[in-house]
Amino acid sequence: MTEVSVAKEDEAATGDLVVLKSVNKHFGALHVLQDIDLTIARGEVVVVIGPSGSGKSTLCRTINRLETIDDGSITIDGKPLPHEGKELARLRADVGMVFQSFNLFAHKTVLENVTLGQVKVRKKDKKAADGRARALLDRVGVGAQAEKYPAQLSGGQQQRVAIARALAMEPKVMLFDEPTSALDPEMINEVLEVMQQLARDGMTMIVVTHEMGFARSAANRVVFMADGRIVEEASPDQFFSNPRSDRAKDFLSKILHH
Amino acid sequence: MFDFLSNYDDPSLLGAFWVTVQLTVFSAIGSLIWGTLLAAMRVSPVPLMRGFGTAYVNIVRNIPLTVIIVFTSLGLADIFGVAMGAPDDFELKYFRLAVLGLVAYTAAFVCEAIRSGINTVPVGQAEAARALGLSFSQVLRLVVLPQAFRSVIGPLANVLIALTKNTTVAATIGVAEAAFLMKEMIENEAQTLLIGAVFAFGFVVLTLPTGLFLNWLSKRLAVKR
């Protein structure tokens, strides 16, 4: 028994926070994730890019089990992803998620959106939750909107609230599933700036995005996916200036020369 | 013209309608609770619960209410000895049996209205709630159902109006509500058309404001997306 716990501590010490091993998933006949191996270290910012339908969003959603996997294993902070139930809920509370379509709770105010998880999952008292929520809303620059409803906010504001809502849970890792894809162009930067700041503060982040600028400036590592496989993993400099695979070269030539 | 009304004091016209109101209110509360639970079962991840919810709705909503109400009396009370906590007070016993029958029946319609409301809530709402670490029942209670209810106040108003009128079936097991009194009056008096008009008017007085109020409420509480 002692050895097991020592082994666990070692794993934590090496700093691997999210580990995916030979993960496979099918949607019917479509093999969306094919033998995915991916390790994300504590404090690392990993940007996942790739063409539409390459499985990158699905990959992101398997990490907090919004999508189940067919085989392979996913561990978070040394713990394998549990099945549906209390254990899984506990784990999800430690994994922040930001969606493409914001998904703010439409019937609750901005402030209530950010306090809900703290009160109902973290069991904080209302006052402490309010305080933290307001601080986070200020941090992402929407403090003045706290009493409004999501529908009264712009897309960029909504997404920043969604980031605050996820941060309120004090997550170990944040997942971003195309956080700027549903935004008007002039609102993309305000969201990216919040994410940049978060990356500088040392948050572990997995970001699925088409924002190459963000990948260049904020990522420690770029993971390029195509057709359900990880085709290439490299530092942003390496990847953008000197991609190794033809698939990545082809992809980059299509998006960078406009 | 309305002299004959003073011949009736057990129940009086107002007394009979008061029983109708009581039947409606108790049945509405009961069927809202039971119907919500049924809807929760129908969307739950547990196959057994889903199966039960589906079977219940499809069986109960297809049985005539009269059959259900008569069964509470002839079946539950007479054969199985269900006394609803009032074995010696016949009036109360049959009133409660009628409420039980109305709840059992109306809940099936409430369930379907709420389930259609649940379907109007975007999947992302539940996903975001799950991603925060909320349990299935918390997701349902805190995020999905509050939005679902707001979108089905209109359909629920229909169910409530139907329920108000359906309480007349309680007369078949001797509950002295409006229709019971109407039947008695028609047997005794000559002005049958007038009697019909009086009771029709009474029901409109009950249901029209309900419908208008709930319609206003549904607009006020609509969730903006």
Average pLDDT value over all residues in chain B? 93
Cα(B194)–Cα(B180) distance, rounded to whole angstroms?
Answer: 16
Residues of chain B with Cβ-Cβ distance to A101 below 8 Å are: 122, 124
Please choose, from the candidates A131, A144, A139, the residue with its C-alpha nearest in 3D space to the C-alpha of residue A197.
A139
Amino acid found at A49: I
Q: pLDDT-derived band of residue B224, with 50, 70 and 90 as boundaries?
A: confident
The pLDDT of residue A49 is 94
Residue B9 has pLDDT above 70, yes or no: yes
The pLDDT of residue A204 is 96
Mean local confidence (pLDDT), B77-89: 85
Residue B12 has pLDDT above 50, yes or no: yes
pLDDT digits (tens, 9 = 90+) for B128-158: 999 999 999 999 999 999 999 999 999 999 9
**Does the interface ipTM go beyond 0.90?**
no
Q: Under the phi-then-psi rule, with left for phi > 0, alpha for psi from -120 to 50, and beta for the rest, what region is B87? A: alpha
Mean local confidence (pLDDT), B193-212: 94
CB–CB of A92 and B150 under 8 A? no
More confident residue, B103 or B87: B103
The pLDDT of residue A257 is 63
**Residue B156 and residue B84 in contact, taking contact as beta carbons nearer than 8 Å:** no
The pLDDT of residue A258 is 54
The pLDDT of residue A34 is 94
Residues of chain B with Cβ-Cβ distance to A66 below 8 Å are: 127, 130-131
Q: Where are the beta strands (DSSP E) in chain A?
A: 16-27, 30-41, 45-49, 71-76, 79-80, 95-98, 173-177, 204-208, 221-226, 229-234
CATH code of residue B148: 1.10.3720.10
Residues of chain B with Cβ-Cβ distance to A91 below 8 Å are: 133
Nearest chain A residue to B121 by CA: give it.
A106
Cα(B61)–Cα(B46) distance, rounded to whole angstroms?
Answer: 23
Tokens of residue A25, six digits: 């998933």
Q: State how many domains chain B has.
A: 1
Nearest chain A residue to B128 by CA: give it.
A103
Residue B7 has pLDDT above 60, yes or no: yes
**Residue A173 and residue A95 in contact, taking contact as beta carbons nearer than 8 Å:** yes
Angle at the Cα of A195 from the Cα atoms of A164 and A160, rounded to 5 degrees? 35
Counting Cβ atoms within 10 Å, is residue A65 exposed (0-12), middle (13-18) or buried (19+)? buried
- The residue range of the domain holding B168 is 3-221
The pLDDT of residue B88 is 85
Residues of chain A with Cβ-Cβ distance to B146 below 8 Å are: 107
**Can you list the residues of chain A whose pLDDT is less than 70?**
1-14, 256-258
Residue A208's beta-bridge partner residues? A48, A177
Portion of chain B with pLDDT greater than 90, in percent: 81
- Interface list for A 78-107 with B (CB within 8 A): 84, 86, 89-97, 99, 101, 103-107
Nearest to A66 among B127, B135, B143 (CB): B127
Question: Which ranges in A140-231 belong to alpha helices (H)?
Answer: 155-167, 185-200, 212-218
Write the CA distances from B83 to B86, B90, B100, B106, integer angstroms.
6, 9, 12, 22
The pLDDT of residue B86 is 82
